[in-house]
Amino acid sequence: LTGPYYRYRTFDDYFNLPYSKYVDCLSFTINTLKTVPLYISLYLALSNIWPLEYILTEDHNQRHFLYRMMYPWLLFAAFRQRIYSGMTLAESVCTSAGLGAYPVQGRNRSGHGPT
């Protein structure tokens, strides 16, 4: 599963208290999607500079100890960009539908709805 996690109350409010009719969900979703090209380009760049397959080569085993210890960190930085882009895309599906849309006067908390 990917995407944001909501409480049942938020899910129930989506069907019983449809505030999303009064919210501009499209502009919020577009604003959220602006970071996805950055995440994808960083993932592609980091994956090309530090490929995963390089770990299996003999050349990698001949490198300095510190280089071999830092290489997984660099791989994980690339992997994180892939996760960030997937989570952002999944979140944008929810925001475009209006899930979690509440009036500002409700003093909302993320994932909890109005307090």
Distance in angstroms (rounded) separating the CA atoms of residues 87 and 7? 17
CB under 8 Å to 43, separation ≥6 — which residues? 78, 81, 82, 85
The type of residue at 112 is H
The whole model's pTM is what? 0.79
Residue 50 pLDDT > 60: yes
- pLDDT tens column, 10-42: 888 888 877 878 888 899 899 999 999 999 999
- pLDDT tens column, 73-103: 999 999 999 999 999 998 899 888 888 887 7
Q: Which comes out higher in pLDDT, residue 3 or 24?
A: 24
Number of residues in the chain:
115
